[in-house]
Amino acid sequence: MIGNASPVGRTGYSVLEEGDLDRQSFCLHITAWRVADRAGDLFPNLFATKRDAEAAAERWAAQSLQARHNLP
């Protein structure tokens, strides 16, 4: 189940919580974080921490920017 999503700066990517719903407390027990692009498509990677997911999103955004502008 997907929980909260939070944008990663101005990258266009978002980090989403993924986990299991506790049916007694209705709390989401987060097991991983994922990254989604502007269209809402999820990358297959799972991250152990939110910070790891944010770092990956920032890295992918920089790589995408380099590719669009043919930068070395």
pLDDT tens digits for 27-65? 999 999 999 999 999 999 999 999 999 999 999 998 876
Q: How far is CA 39 from the centre of its chain?
A: 13
Task: Kindly report whether the global pTM for this prediction surpasses the value 0.75.
Answer: yes
Instruction: Provide the mean pLDDT of the chain.
Output: 91
**What number of CA atoms fall less than 13 Å from residue 17's CA on the CB side?**
11
Domains in the chain, number? 1
Q: Round to whole Å and give the CA distance between 63 and 35.
A: 15
Structure tokens belonging to residue 40: 């809402």
User: In angstroms, rounded to a whole number, what is the distance separating the alpha carbons of residues 22 and 19?
Assistant: 10
Host domain of residue 42: 2-68
SS3 state of residue 63: helix
